[in-house]
Structure 1
Amino acid sequence: MLEVKDLYSYYGKSPVIQGIDFQVAEGGFFGVVGRNGVGKTTLLRTLMGLTDRATGTIRFNGQDLLQKTTPERAGAGIAYIPQGREVIPRFTVRENLIMGTFPREDGSRDIPEHIFEMFPILDEFIERRAGDLSGGQQQQLAIGRALAMKPRIMLLDEPTEGIQPNIVQQIEQVLKQLNREMGLTIILVEQNTRFVREVADEFLLIEKGRVSLRGPGEALTGEVVEKYLSI
């Protein structure tokens, strides 16, 4: 579904991502790990066309994404949930979810019912302003907004960071369900290596913008974490 070759991505003249290669199969669950500041977020932003410049190859279902704008990439079925969630605080939950429908090819503004089944709190707080929600509830809203576009692949950047444990567990279960039961392809940037090891088909470990290690999820062992990710 997604093929990345010799990818370089720049802010200004400085390359942050350098020579990265990977593939994600349709229905796959792909994890990206690494210390803070090594380029994980930049990788996701590059896939969405949000850096200053990128070279190499990004192909999604046969399409050359490097030649497409960010809205065109969203229209192709790529959903992005950034670090920090970025819900619209003055908009209600309903309005935020409707915003998620804008890239849909069918033009419908209907909110898929399974979003409320996965996150009942969004239904309960449907007319509440997003800025009045807790951090965990906002994260649920951000995921729900992305699902409203009926994506083919979802990119998530640290979705469990700074969230209360009970909501972390709920988000983890939803991501498993989306991938394993609904066949949604997922690329996850996450510091929680336990979860990546549990769910990822494959993972990349990034250091200084380059891939230092890759393998199946179960290869993200305690020894690897100690060697590459400990402070």
Structure 2
Amino acid sequence: MLDMTGVTSFYGSSPVLQNVSFSVPRGAVLSVLGRNGVGKTTLMRTIMGLTDRATGTIGLGGRDIRAEPTHRRAELGIAYVPQGRGIIGRFSIRENILMGSFARPDGKRVIPPLVFELFPYLGDNLNRRGGDLSGGQQQQLAIARALAADPSVLLLDEPTEGIQPNIVEQIENIIVALNREHGLTIVLVEQNVRFARRASQHFLMLDKGRVAAQGDTALLTDELVHRHMMV
């Protein structure tokens, strides 16, 4: 469904990712792991075409999208929930969600019923300003905005970071449900190894911008975690 082959990605003249290759099967979850600063967010931004330059191949459903601009990648079915969420505080919940619908290939400007099913609080408070929400509610809103694009691939960059503990489990359960019940292919940047093991079928470990290890999640051993994630 989504793959990279020999991708090197640059900010300016500096390569941040170097010769990265991986593949995510349709309907699977890939967890991207590693210490801070090793290129995990850059990987997500590279998939979306948000770095200065990239070489190699980025494939979506067998099509090389590396030359496509960001908005076209979104229209082709990739939705991105960035670290920090990117909510527009002065916009209402409704307006924030509908922003995602501009990437829908059918041109519809609607909030999908799935959003109301997964996030009843958002559905009950559509006129509330995004900036008035808690961190956990804003994360829910960011995921809802991504779902409004009707994506086939969902990129989630540390979706439980900085969220109150009582909402973390809710968001984890929603991510699992989006994959297992609704068939979304997901790339998940995650520091919580317990959740990565629960949610994903595959993992990719980055170290200094390179692939240090990858494979089925059953191969994500404590030794690998200690070697590449412990400070």
User: Is the structural similarity TM-score above 0.5?
Assistant: yes
| Residue 167 (structure 2) pairs with residue 155 (structure 1) | no
Q: Could you tell me how far apart the structure 2 residues matched to 1:150 and 1:166 are? A: 28
Q: Which whole-Å deviations, capped at 9, do the CAs of 1:152-207 have from their partners, x for residues lacking one?
A: 00001000001011211111111111100111000000111111111211101000
Q: Which residue of 1 aligns with 2:72?
A: 72
Q: Could you tell me how far apart the structure 2 residues matched to 1:59 and 1:112 are? A: 27
Q: Look up the SS of the partner of 1:67 in the other structure.
A: coil
Cα offset, 1:221, TM superposition: 2.8
Gap runs ≥5 in structure 2: none
Q: Which residue of 2 aligns with 1:174?
A: 174
Q: Which residue of 1 aligns with 2:127?
A: 127
Q: Could you tell me how far apart the structure 2 residues matched to 1:127 and 1:88 are? A: 13
Instruction: Give RMSD over aligned pairs.
Output: 0.9
Q: Which residue of 2 aligns with 1:21?
A: 21
Please show how residues 128-147 of structure 1 align to structure 2 within 5 Å: 128-147=128-147
Q: Could you tell me how far apart the structure 2 residues matched to 1:29 and 1:128 are? A: 32
Q: Which residue of 1 aligns with 2:36?
A: 36
Q: Could you tell me how far apart the structure 2 residues matched to 1:173 and 1:114 are? A: 14
Structure 1 runs, 4 residues or longer, greater than 4 Å off: none
Q: Could you tell me how far apart the structure 2 residues matched to 1:119 and 1:168 are? A: 14
Q: Which residue of 1 aligns with 2:96?
A: 96
Q: Could you tell me how far apart the structure 2 residues matched to 1:164 and 1:219 are? A: 30
Q: Which residue of 1 aligns with 2:45?
A: 45
Contact 1:80 1:154 in 2 (8 A): yes
Contact 1:203 1:216 in 2 (8 A): yes
Contact 1:190 1:196 in 2 (8 A): yes
Q: Could you tell me how far apart the structure 1 residues matched to 2:62 and 2:225 are? A: 35
Contact 1:5 1:19 in 2 (8 A): yes
| Residue 205 (structure 2) pairs with residue 226 (structure 1) | no
Contact 1:199 1:217 in 2 (8 A): no
Contact 1:101 1:111 in 2 (8 A): yes
Cα offset, 1:106, TM superposition: 1.1
Percent pairwise identity: 58
TM-score (norm 1): 0.98
Amino acid at match of 2:168: V
Contact 1:198 1:218 in 2 (8 A): no
Q: Could you tell me how far apart the structure 2 residues matched to 1:208 and 1:145 are? A: 32
Contact 1:197 1:219 in 2 (8 A): no
Amino acid at match of 1:10: F
Please show how residues 192-211 of structure 1 align to structure 2 within 5 Å: 192-211=192-211
Cα offset, 1:227, TM superposition: 2.1
Cα offset, 1:220, TM superposition: 2.1
